[in-house]
């Protein structure tokens, strides 16, 4: 349909008004008019053009209103802002429109590509719209209301919706996407918790100067400070319409089988708990009550936490001797008691709580006492929005009756059910006082507890009944440096893991290893042991579990490598891990979770030590991360420190010159190690080979292709025995043909086919091993046979055929497994 309108329908501004427009407004007006005119010139109008024209007309009205207000001295705080209002808002559209225009803003009636809005105001928005507006500044209506109240333009970020990221949020849920890990971590609360925690612990180690570590004889006041339902409180700040005290609020990603990471106390009133699935939580609510599911706002959480810790470090009420991080939202603060003064703990707690609320808009609770365990139990008692102080000598039955078993640190669901089982489930122990009574009534109960839940934990529970600490817990206070030092480094991905091929698994292992190695380098550590833990779909579990992309019910399987020489080299480590994957029987499509652990971390020796020796070993230098090598080369030259080049013999030299540089260095390094091993074992190896040679004397020269059952046919993936057998045959073959006329062409052809198969199935490390075996073998024979035809054929074969196959799949092959050479075939 087309709408025809005559000319002159536009409400033109009076000339007198025109002269009062600012330059910008004038130009805009001219542009508007010009556009309308060009539409008029067209013969027909589309519906869209009609609306555009209508919009232009409305804008002229807006401009008139704006000028009027400007003349009356209304501050034009929204100058330069072009705002589009999406959907239903509170306050309503009309009101926002008027407020905006009066204060100098431009109201966008109609959102087209030609008229870009600078801001979009919305109270709520479906996901589809969110994606559409991902590149806009999407704010709540409060941005307008509050800015007018403040008399100035407030930063839109303060009113940004939680979903409004700088970069558009594109869901990456395919684990083969190179960005999957990044995206997953960005959205994983558990990853954030772990990551924040280790960062905080790292900070403690660096800031330890500002601490005053107590002595055992000191008497202490311990403050356990913790935000109330932190994630939920922070999330609610983005939704001013919600009341954190009365509306049930949870923080989660989804709507059904999504974990609730945090729920406020209004939600807990109905029995909702952290960790529940949303669908279950909804079932707890009576009819008519809705659950407010809010998105995570990790950035804001970090910001609030920083303010929190900053107040703990510096405030007007107390100077703590230790500020020990428990997590992003929780800290244990220790004050060494001075006999000269008796601080008013109640006031200190109250003041701290007020100060933190003033700064963060979130409430904390505080438990305070003279022992760790009591400060923790008091914290539980204080929650929410309160503080509680009770010293350990004042613990009585009334207090214990308010302490749940799960309140004791180290006691979780498994321990509780074990204890209840010991008590024959009758009655289920509701609180710690009941446990105490059971123990008092039955002297043998302690013995059975020790046998069931362990010695240490039993003692810890008994101590906590008296409000006293066990030694293990006190380490945090008395030996903080030791306590907070990192002893291992790992990555666990048990969500979204769905692979089809070993190549995909390899690529993912690369990404995980890269992540770990980066952290390793930040820590200036190397690892001396790698553990690979896999989750494999349990045989009876469905292919797709209830939870979207979850791991479901799984069996776990492990394999570890002790490295001999600690390493921080990406290539070496990733190859090792890929090798380990091949050693456990988990087909890629059954894989549901991957965990890689670097344990037994050791310090990277500082360069100072090397400099004092005026030279460094080639190996040492090679172990440096590649990106720092060039810098070090210059630095070393300046200081006239030499890199000890490894000795290579003539044969090795020519072999090495044929291969690309990166690879050459790796192999060179490898040769050094080989040399060492060889020197000690060379006699034994020679003896073995003579023996083997003798046993083969009766075979024909044509060794491999003389029957239908070539040895290469029998290779089964992950069947190591078989690979070893093949290696041993190859060695014998080389050994037997290195003199005289060399290997039979048909054998070579079969051999090459086999290598291609390995290459195609991404088993490059195996090719590497074979090539090293051959290289080694030739090396051993070079003195005796280097002029023989056979030797030279083999040498050609190695350099022209085998090495290129290695390079074909370079991405899986960065370096070699150094110490895994098997001379004992």
Partner DNA sequence: CGAGGCGCCCAG
Partner DNA sequence: CATCGCTGGGCGCCTCG
| Number of neighbours of residue 210 by Cβ within 10 angstroms | 12
CA 784/CA 651 separation, integer angstroms = 13
CB of 382 to DNA, least distance (A): 15
Out of 269, 313, 456, 757, point to the residue binding DNA (CB under 7 A): 456
Q: Which of residues 250-279 bind DNA (CB under 7 A)?
A: 252-259, 261, 278
Binding characters for DNA, 35-54, by CB under 7 A (x = yes): --------------------
CB of 825 to DNA, least distance (A): 22
Our finding on whether 514 is near DNA (CB under 7 A) is: no
CB of 745 to DNA, least distance (A): 46
Out of 107, 156, 184, 570, point to the residue binding DNA (CB under 7 A): 184
Q: Which of residues 127-146 bind DNA (CB under 7 A)?
A: 127-128
Give the containing element (helix H, strand E) for 126: none
CB of 465 to DNA, least distance (A): 16
Our finding on whether 692 is near DNA (CB under 7 A) is: no
Our finding on whether 597 is near DNA (CB under 7 A) is: yes
| Number of neighbours of residue 752 by Cβ within 10 angstroms | 14
User: Which residue number, 365 or 759, has a Cβ lying nearer to DNA?
Assistant: 365
**Region from 153-161, 321-329, 577-585, 703-711 binding DNA, contact rule CB under 7 A:** 321-329
CB of 816 to DNA, least distance (A): 23
Q: Nearest-CA neighbor of 566 among 736, 819, 761?
A: 819
**Region from 326-334, 383-391, 694-702, 713-721 binding DNA, contact rule CB under 7 A:** 326-334
Q: Which of residues 148-177 bind DNA (CB under 7 A)?
A: 171, 173
User: Which residue number, 270 or 548, has a Cβ lying nearer to DNA?
Assistant: 548
User: Which residue number, 100 or 461, has a Cβ lying nearer to DNA?
Assistant: 461
What are the structure tokens assigned to 11, written together?
């409400």
**Rounded to the nearest 5°, which phi and psi values hold at 617?**
-75, 145
Residues in Cβ contact with 207 at an 8 Å cutoff, skipping those fewer than 6 apart: none
Q: Which of residues 107-126 bind DNA (CB under 7 A)?
A: 126
CA 792/CA 156 separation, integer angstroms = 74
CA 366/CA 350 separation, integer angstroms = 9
Q: Which of residues 330-349 bind DNA (CB under 7 A)?
A: 330
**Region from 328-336, 711-719, 765-773, 803-811 binding DNA, contact rule CB under 7 A:** 328-336
CB of 331 to DNA, least distance (A): 10
Our finding on whether 379 is near DNA (CB under 7 A) is: no
User: Which residue number, 380 or 818, has a Cβ lying nearer to DNA?
Assistant: 380
User: Which residue number, 135 or 556, has a Cβ lying nearer to DNA?
Assistant: 556
CB of 198 to DNA, least distance (A): 5
Burial of 366 (0-12, 13-18, 19+ CB in 10 A): buried
* DSSP, res 711: G
CB of 206 to DNA, least distance (A): 15
Q: Which of residues 474-513 bind DNA (CB under 7 A)?
A: 475, 483, 485-496
CB of 556 to DNA, least distance (A): 6
Bond into 427 cis (ω within 30): yes
CB of 568 to DNA, least distance (A): 15
**Region from 325-333, 366-374, 576-584, 736-744 binding DNA, contact rule CB under 7 A:** 325-333
Our finding on whether 718 is near DNA (CB under 7 A) is: no
- The answer to whether the beta carbons of residues 560 and 532 sit under 8 Å apart is yes
CA 99/CA 117 separation, integer angstroms = 17
**Rounded to the nearest 5°, which phi and psi values hold at 522?**
-60, -40
User: Which residue number, 185 or 478, has a Cβ lying nearer to DNA?
Assistant: 185
Residue-wise burial string across 435-468, b where 16 or more C-beta atoms lie within 10 A, e elsewhere:
bbebbeeeeebeebbeeebeeebbbbbbbbbebb
User: Which residue number, 190 or 428, has a Cβ lying nearer to DNA?
Assistant: 190
* DSSP, res 175: T
Integer angstrom CA distances of residue 289 from 248, 281, 770 = 8, 12, 69
CB of 543 to DNA, least distance (A): 12
User: Which residue number, 485 or 822, has a Cβ lying nearer to DNA?
Assistant: 485
User: Which residue number, 214 or 593, has a Cβ lying nearer to DNA?
Assistant: 593
- The answer to whether the beta carbons of residues 262 and 231 sit under 8 Å apart is yes
| Number of neighbours of residue 585 by Cβ within 10 angstroms | 11
CB of 215 to DNA, least distance (A): 21
Residues in Cβ contact with 84 at an 8 Å cutoff, skipping those fewer than 6 apart: 108, 111, 117, 119, 120, 121
User: Which residue number, 30 or 127, has a Cβ lying nearer to DNA?
Assistant: 127
Our finding on whether 387 is near DNA (CB under 7 A) is: no
CB of 459 to DNA, least distance (A): 8
User: Which residue number, 256 or 757, has a Cβ lying nearer to DNA?
Assistant: 256
Long-range contacts of 280-288 (CB under 8 A, 24+ apart): 281/250, 285/248
Binding characters for DNA, 545-574, by CB under 7 A (x = yes): xxxxxxxx---x-x-x-x------------
- The answer to whether the beta carbons of residues 159 and 146 sit under 8 Å apart is yes
Radius of gyration for the alpha carbons in the chain, expressed in angstroms and rounded: 36
CB of 284 to DNA, least distance (A): 17
User: Which residue number, 278 or 477, has a Cβ lying nearer to DNA?
Assistant: 278
The 3-state secondary structure of 273-330, one letter per residue: CCCCEHHHHHHHCCCCCCCEEECCCHHHHHHHHHHHHHHHHCCCCCCCCEEEEEECCE
Q: Which of residues 724-783 bind DNA (CB under 7 A)?
A: none
Q: Quote the crossing angle between the two packed helices 570-583 and 764-785, to the nearest 10°.
A: 110
CB of 692 to DNA, least distance (A): 29
Q: Which of residues 517-546 bind DNA (CB under 7 A)?
A: 529, 531, 545-546
User: Which residue number, 200 or 802, has a Cβ lying nearer to DNA?
Assistant: 200
Q: Which of residues 189-248 bind DNA (CB under 7 A)?
A: 189-191, 193-195, 197-198
Q: How far is CA 634 from the centre of its chain?
A: 35
Our finding on whether 327 is near DNA (CB under 7 A) is: yes
Q: Nearest-CA neighbor of 118 among 147, 95, 96, 85?
A: 85
CB of 46 to DNA, least distance (A): 28
Longest CA–CA span in the chain (Å) reads 115
Bond into 42 cis (ω within 30): no
Bond into 91 cis (ω within 30): yes
User: Which residue number, 415 or 762, has a Cβ lying nearer to DNA?
Assistant: 415
Number of residues that bind DNA (CB under 7 A): 79
Burial of 308 (0-12, 13-18, 19+ CB in 10 A): buried
Q: Which of residues 389-448 bind DNA (CB under 7 A)?
A: 406, 409-416
Our finding on whether 326 is near DNA (CB under 7 A) is: yes
User: Where does 479-533 have alpha helices with state H?
Assistant: 480-484, 502-523
What dihedral angle (degrees, nearest 10) is formed by the CA atoms of 798, 799, 804, 807?
A: 100
What are the structure tokens assigned to 708, written together?
């239908």
Q: Cα angle vertex 432, ends 430, 434, to 5°?
A: 65
Our finding on whether 455 is near DNA (CB under 7 A) is: yes
User: Which residue number, 253 or 664, has a Cβ lying nearer to DNA?
Assistant: 253
Our finding on whether 185 is near DNA (CB under 7 A) is: yes
CB of 431 to DNA, least distance (A): 16
Q: Which of residues 577-596 bind DNA (CB under 7 A)?
A: 593, 595
* DSSP, res 605: P
User: Which residue number, 109 or 304, has a Cβ lying nearer to DNA?
Assistant: 304
CB of 6 to DNA, least distance (A): 43
What dihedral angle (degrees, nearest 10) is formed by the CA atoms of 248, 253, 254, 256?
A: -70
């Amino acid at each position: 349909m087309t709408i025809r309108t005559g000319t002159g329908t536009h409400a033109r501004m009076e000339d007198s008004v025109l002269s009062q427009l600012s330059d910008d407004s004038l130009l805009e007006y001219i542009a508007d008019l010009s556009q309308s005119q060009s539409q008029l010139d067209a013969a027909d109008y589309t519906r869209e053009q009609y609306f555009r024209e209508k919009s232009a007309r409305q804008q002229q009205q807006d401009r008139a209103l704006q000028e009027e207000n400007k003349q009356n001295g209304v501050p034009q705080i929204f100058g330069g802002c072009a705002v589009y209002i999406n959907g239903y808002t509170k306050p309503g559209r009309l009101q926002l429109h008027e407020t905006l225009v009066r204060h100098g803003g431009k109201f966008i009636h109609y959102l087209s590509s030609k008229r870009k809005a600078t801001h979009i105001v919305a109270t709520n928005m479906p996901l589809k719209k969110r994606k559409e507006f991902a590149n806009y500044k999407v704010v709540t209506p409060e941005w307008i209301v509050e800015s007018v109240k403040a008399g100035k333009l407030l930063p839109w970020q303060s009113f940004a919706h939680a979903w409004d990221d700088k970069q558009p949020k594109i869901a990456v849920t395919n684990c083969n996407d190179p960005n999957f890990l990044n995206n997953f971590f960005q959205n994983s609360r558990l990853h954030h918790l772990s990551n924040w925690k280790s960062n905080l612990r790292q900070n403690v180690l660096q800031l330890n100067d500002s601490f005053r570590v107590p002595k055992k004889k000191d008497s202490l006041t311990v403050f356990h400070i913790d935000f109330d339902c932190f994630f939920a409180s922070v999330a609610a700040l983005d939704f001013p319409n919600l009341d954190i005290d009365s509306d049930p609020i949870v923080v989660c990603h989804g709507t059904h089988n999504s974990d609730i990471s945090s729920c406020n106390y209004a939600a807990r009133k109905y029995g909702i708990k952290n960790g529940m699935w949303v669908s279950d939580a909804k079932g707890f609510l009576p009819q008519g009550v809705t659950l407010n599911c809010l998105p995570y706002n990790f950035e804001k959480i970090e910001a609030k936490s920083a303010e929190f810790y900053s107040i703990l470090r510096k405030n007007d009420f107390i100077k703590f001797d230790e500020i020990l991080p428990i997590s992003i939202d929780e800290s244990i603060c220790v004050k060494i008691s001075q006999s000269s003064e008796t601080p008013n703990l109640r006031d200190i707690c109250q003041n701290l709580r007020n100060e933190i609320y003033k700064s963060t808009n979130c409430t904390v609770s505080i438990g305070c006492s003279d022992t760790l365990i009591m400060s923790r139990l008091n914290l539980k008692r204080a929650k929410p929005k309160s503080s509680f102080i009770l010293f350990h000598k004042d613990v009585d039955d009334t207090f214990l009756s308010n302490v749940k078993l799960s309140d004791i640190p180290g006691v979780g669901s498994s321990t509780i059910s074990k204890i209840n089982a010991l008590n024959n489930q009758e009655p289920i122990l509701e609180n710690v006082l009941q446990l105490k009574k059971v123990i008092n009534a039955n002297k043998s109960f302690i013995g059975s507890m020790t046998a069931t839940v362990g010695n240490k934990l039993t003692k810890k529970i008994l101590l906590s009944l008296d409000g006293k600490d066990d030694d293990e817990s006190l380490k945090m206070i008395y030996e903080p440096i030791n306590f907070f030092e990192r002893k291992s480094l790992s990555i666990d991905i048990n969500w979204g893991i769905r692979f089809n091929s070993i190549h995909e698994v390899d690529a993912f292992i690369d990404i995980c290893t890269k992540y770990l190695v980066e952290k390793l380098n930040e820590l200036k550590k190397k690892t001396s042991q790698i553990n690979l833990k896999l989750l494999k779909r349990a045989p009876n579990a469905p292919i797709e579990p209830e939870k979207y992309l979850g791991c479901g019910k799984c069996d776990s399987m492990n394999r570890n490598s002790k490295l001999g020489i600690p390493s921080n080299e990406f290539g070496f480590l990733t190859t090792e891990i890929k090798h380990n994957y091949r050693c456990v029987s988990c087909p890629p499509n059954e894989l549901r979770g991957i965990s890689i652990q670097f344990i037994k971390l050791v310090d990277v020796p500082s360069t100072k030590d090397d400099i004092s020796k005026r030279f460094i070993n080639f190996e040492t230098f090679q172990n440096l991360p590649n990106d720092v090598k060039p810098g070090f080369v210059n630095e070393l030259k300046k200081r006239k420190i030499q890199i000890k080049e490894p000795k290579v013999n003539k044969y090795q030299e020519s072999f090495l010159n044929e291969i690309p540089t990166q690879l050459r260095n790796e192999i060179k390094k490898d040769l050094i190690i080989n040399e060492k091993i060889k020197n000690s074992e060379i006699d034994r190896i020679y003896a073995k080979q003579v023996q083997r040679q003798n046993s083969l004397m009766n075979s024909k020269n044509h060794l491999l292709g003389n029957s239908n059952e070539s040895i290469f046919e029998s290779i089964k993936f992950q069947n190591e025995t078989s690979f070893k057998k093949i290696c041993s045959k190859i060695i014998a073959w080389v050994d037997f043909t290195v003199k005289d006329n060399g290997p039979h062409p048909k054998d070579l052809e079969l051999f090459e086919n086999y290598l291609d198969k390995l290459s195609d199935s991404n088993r490059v490390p195996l090719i590497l091993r074979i090539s090293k075996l051959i290289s080694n073998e030739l090396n051993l024979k070079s003195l005796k046979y280097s002029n023989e035809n056979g030797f030279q054929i083999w040498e050609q074969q190695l350099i022209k055929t085998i090495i290129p196959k290695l390079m074909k799949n370079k991405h899986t092959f960065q370096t070699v497994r150094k110490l895994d050479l098997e001379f004992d075939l």
